[in-house]
Amino acid sequence: MITFYPGPSKVYPQVAAYAQEAVRSGVVSWNHRSPGFMDIVKETVRLLHEKLAIPADYHLALVSSATECWEIIAQSLTVTTSLHPYGGAFGKKWMEYAHRIKPMILPGEADVLCVVQNETSNGTQVRMDTLANFRQEFSGLIAVDAVSSLGGLAFDWSLADVWFASVQKCLGLPAGLAVLIYSPQALRQAEVINDRQYYNSLLFVHENFANYQTPYTPNGLGIYLLMRVLQQIPGIAEVDQLIRKRATDWYRFFETETNWKLLIDQPELRSDTVIAVQGSEEQIRAVKTDAQKAGITLGNGYGNWKSTTFRIANFPAIEEWEIEKLKTFLRTYELAAPPV
């Protein structure tokens, strides 16, 4: 069975061997304050900087999920409230979550702007030029949810103060770990707010990570797998090129070789890493079932588009032969049962 589900998504095939390695060598039983374990954390942080081309002065921490990052931003980085220009289900969820912690009173008072770079629910993305405009117009911190694009696309990191992603999407790993990246400016804001109330208060996490440790026992297996995958993948510039080319090919494929309608009409809004395809409820149900029979899992729709779209992950762990197999399926499916 091959999967195009956009999260949890296909893991790199090598992960099986890395997991075995972690158990056999005993890494998973190491104390998280032991020198050996700290070396793994240190190497993971170094590789993240290197492979993703993250500026040297941006800090890194590993936490449990992207949802936890939403919480950390609201608790430790937001003075009054946050502003959420959103276009899909994850952006809305983030806003609702953040406003439960720091309620919105007056929009003009917001000191953090929260942007979902890649809206996994409907296959849209906020490009770097839009982010650059936000940067010019907004004087506070900018936080970017890049859960379904970090590891696939190259970013201009300087356009935001906080970036984060859980690892089960574009990074091709099992769930239960997230990467949190924050600028010196974000750290200064955390120091001003001085939130130390929670186990995951950013200053607390930051101080622990300065020693390559965590406040609590971390997901050691997840960190080890992240380190091994980072060792294996090429630098982000190369991955970015591949992902953009595959995205262009996917969109061209749907427009010229099928009758399916893309959910997003404007090409400049379309995501490079999650492709959303629209149809009637009947068509969507049928294509998902028939794909399953052919050994292919398509992503369900999400939120408002749950039953009227299917989604295809365009993540780096997916291999060329898998993409060809899905294209062949969709081509022949087209002839057997025209969708429109």
Ligand X SMILES: *Cc1c(COP(=O)(O)O)cnc(C)c1O
Can you give the binding site for ligand X, defined by CB under 6 A? Answer: 7, 65-67, 90, 116, 120, 145, 147-148, 166, 169
Shortest distance, position 278 Cβ to ligand X, whole Å? 19
Backbone phi, psi, residue 102, to 5°: -125, 85
Shortest distance, position 7 Cβ to ligand X, whole Å? 5
* Closer Cβ to ligand X, 41 or 147, answer by number: 147
d(CA 59, CA 71): 18
C-beta of residue 303 within 8 angstroms of C-beta of residue 121: yes
Chain center to CA of 154: 13
d(CA 282, CA 207): 53
* Closer Cβ to ligand X, 161 or 329, answer by number: 161
Shortest distance, position 245 Cβ to ligand X, whole Å? 22
* Closer Cβ to ligand X, 145 or 240, answer by number: 145
Shortest distance, position 41 Cβ to ligand X, whole Å? 20
**CB under 8 Å to 292, separation ≥6 — which residues?**
298
C-beta of residue 179 within 8 angstroms of C-beta of residue 62: yes
* Closer Cβ to ligand X, 258 or 273, answer by number: 273
Shortest distance, position 102 Cβ to ligand X, whole Å? 18
How many angstroms separate the Cα of 15 from the Cα of each of 10, 38, 175, 223, 252?
A: 10, 21, 12, 12, 32
* Closer Cβ to ligand X, 152 or 339, answer by number: 152
How many angstroms separate the Cα of 332 from the Cα of each of 36, 185, 313?
A: 53, 53, 21
Query: Which residue, judged by CB position, is nearest to ligand X in the bound state?
Result: 166
